[in-house]
Amino acid sequence: MGAGLSEAAKRAGEAVDGERLWRDLMQLAQFGARTDGGVERHALSGADIAARAWLIGEAERRGFSVSVDDIANLWIRRKGADEGAEPVILGSHIDSQPAGGKFDGALGVLAGLEALTALDAAGIATRRPVDVVAWTNEEGGRFDRSCTGSSVWSGAMALEDYFGDIGADGVRLGEALKLTLDATPDLPRRPRRFPAHAYVELHIEQGPVLEAEGLDVAAVTGIQGVRWLNVEVTGSAGHAGTTPMAGRRDALQGAHRAIAALNALMADPDDRVRFTVGRFNAFPNSPNTIPERAAFSIDFRHPDKTLLDDRSARLRPLIEAAAAPCTASLTPTLFMDPVMFPEDVVAQIEVAARALGHPARRLASGAFHDALYAARVCPAGMIFVPCRAGLSHHPEEWTEPRHARAGARVLTATAVELAGT
């Protein structure tokens, strides 16, 4: 990876067809479309299966070969001159949040397909094959544990460990996975794990920086670490009108005290800690019954692993003490350490952006992405493009067509440099 952009990479980037990419984005957004303009396409659902069928059809129509692995990651390949060489992988996910948008994930997959198409249009043969992947269940919107597909591919998780996960709709992941795989019986099976040369993911920023600074793209430096836990507080139910206040074991009040203590623990004058309780349920959830059980989620993030580890170790004693006289149990559901992307991949993305005339900066990712797991297998990097008002995980999520095109151009040129000619 050198100081300038090769002529082939520049030509490939310039062959990206922004209108074709935009049509693909709008087409994919039809699967699971919500009436408010957003998308609800849960992993391994009927909408996901239909979206996959469309994507497979498009890829095959354009002459690329498609395969699938045991966790239903979908792989689209453009052959390399050396088919035995480890591939360069481009990709993201096509599942969405329950009230998600058209671009989170979809952009990275469809820009990957556009990159393969642009390589054909520019008549460029790469030495390494270039694969596009749509990872299974990045969002965790249906099955709680996110990045399911990439974590299995990376070897961080065993496929079988996910089978019993129960979705928000009560369906077991193993059953939904079988339905999805059964829908494409003719697709060749790819191994669960294989070596790769590099991985690059294009994504909307999901934050306000690029838009505020009027930039087209960011070369992402790394992804902060994340811990997810489910907390359950247990007390005693009783009649709201007759049970004396003294001696009550109200689970909702216990959970409320625990959350107040967590807010104090997570207070950060530098505003770098991210702490969210995004889900809260009380049982039996009746106005005149003392709650017997309360359950809430913790999403805790920071770029520094030591801080994440230290503070995570304090959660259990703190929650137990605050919830008393109720009892509390904690179940970790997601554990991702921070990752820094290799300098040469970050620099290569900057070189491509500059050569193609797209103003860029470096930026760290506050959101997690499948690139975090891919980085365990091979050098990985990410490209961000602006999204309106930094809004994401929302039906009004939006990126301008020119920014989608800019990201795809940089992705395509970077892929050529990594795959070699």
Give contact residues for ligand GLV (rule: CB under 6 A).
139, 367-368
- If the CB atoms of residues 21 and 367 are measured against ligand GLV, the closer one turns out to be 367
| Residues paired with residue 274 on neighbouring β-strands, in sequence order | 301
- If the CB atoms of residues 9 and 367 are measured against ligand GLV, the closer one turns out to be 367
Rounded to a whole number of angstroms, the minimum distance from the CB of residue 6 to ligand GLV is 33
Q: Is residue 48 involved in binding Mn ion (CB under 5 A)?
A: no
Q: Residue 18, CB half-sphere, CA atoms under 13 Å: how many?
A: 12
Rounded to a whole number of angstroms, the minimum distance from the CB of residue 320 to ligand GLV is 27
- If the CB atoms of residues 139 and 350 are measured against ligand GLV, the closer one turns out to be 139
Rounded to a whole number of angstroms, the minimum distance from the CB of residue 392 to Mn ion is 7
Among ligand GLV, Mn ion, none, the one that 381 touches (CB under a kind-dependent 5 to 8 A) is none
CA-to-CA distance for 198 and 46, rounded, in angstroms?
32
What's the length of the chain?
421
Rounded to a whole number of angstroms, the minimum distance from the CB of residue 97 to Mn ion is 6
- If the CB atoms of residues 108 and 379 are measured against Mn ion, the closer one turns out to be 108
- If the CB atoms of residues 139 and 292 are measured against ligand GLV, the closer one turns out to be 139
257 φ, ψ to 5°?
Answer: -65, -40
Among 32, 105, 235, 254, binds Mn ion (CB under 5 A): 105
Q: How many Cβ atoms are within 10 Å of 354's Cβ, its own excluded?
A: 14
Rounded to a whole number of angstroms, the minimum distance from the CB of residue 369 to Mn ion is 6
Rounded to a whole number of angstroms, the minimum distance from the CB of residue 127 to ligand GLV is 33
- If the CB atoms of residues 41 and 257 are measured against Mn ion, the closer one turns out to be 41
CA-to-CA distance for 65 and 137, rounded, in angstroms?
22
Give the residue among 129, 87, 152, 112 at the shortest CA–CA distance from 379.
87
280 CB-contact burial (10 Å; exposed 0-12 / middle 13-18 / buried 19+): middle
Among ligand GLV, Mn ion, none, the one that 143 touches (CB under a kind-dependent 5 to 8 A) is none
- If the CB atoms of residues 114 and 139 are measured against Mn ion, the closer one turns out to be 139
Q: How many Cβ atoms are within 10 Å of 291's Cβ, its own excluded?
A: 26
Residue nearest to ligand GLV (CB): 367
Only segment of 29-37, 105-113, 211-219, 371-379 that touches Mn ion (CB under 5 A): 105-113
Q: Answer for the pair 31, 54: CB distance below 8 angstroms, yes or no.
A: yes
Binding-site size for Mn ion (CB under 5 A) equals 2
Among 69, 104, 216, 250, binds Mn ion (CB under 5 A): 104
Only segment of 102-110, 233-241, 300-308, 328-336 that touches Mn ion (CB under 5 A): 102-110
Among Mn ion, ligand GLV, none, the one that 105 touches (CB under a kind-dependent 5 to 8 A) is Mn ion
- If the CB atoms of residues 10 and 93 are measured against Mn ion, the closer one turns out to be 93
Rounded to a whole number of angstroms, the minimum distance from the CB of residue 43 to Mn ion is 12
**Token digits of residue 205:** 């920023």
Q: Answer for the pair 301, 366: CB distance below 8 angstroms, yes or no.
A: yes
Among Mn ion, ligand GLV, none, the one that 368 touches (CB under a kind-dependent 5 to 8 A) is ligand GLV
Rounded to a whole number of angstroms, the minimum distance from the CB of residue 139 to ligand GLV is 6
- If the CB atoms of residues 75 and 368 are measured against ligand GLV, the closer one turns out to be 368
Only segment of 103-111, 237-245, 269-277, 351-359 that touches Mn ion (CB under 5 A): 103-111
Rounded to a whole number of angstroms, the minimum distance from the CB of residue 143 to Mn ion is 14
- If the CB atoms of residues 14 and 396 are measured against ligand GLV, the closer one turns out to be 396
Binding site for Mn ion (CB under 5 A): 104-105
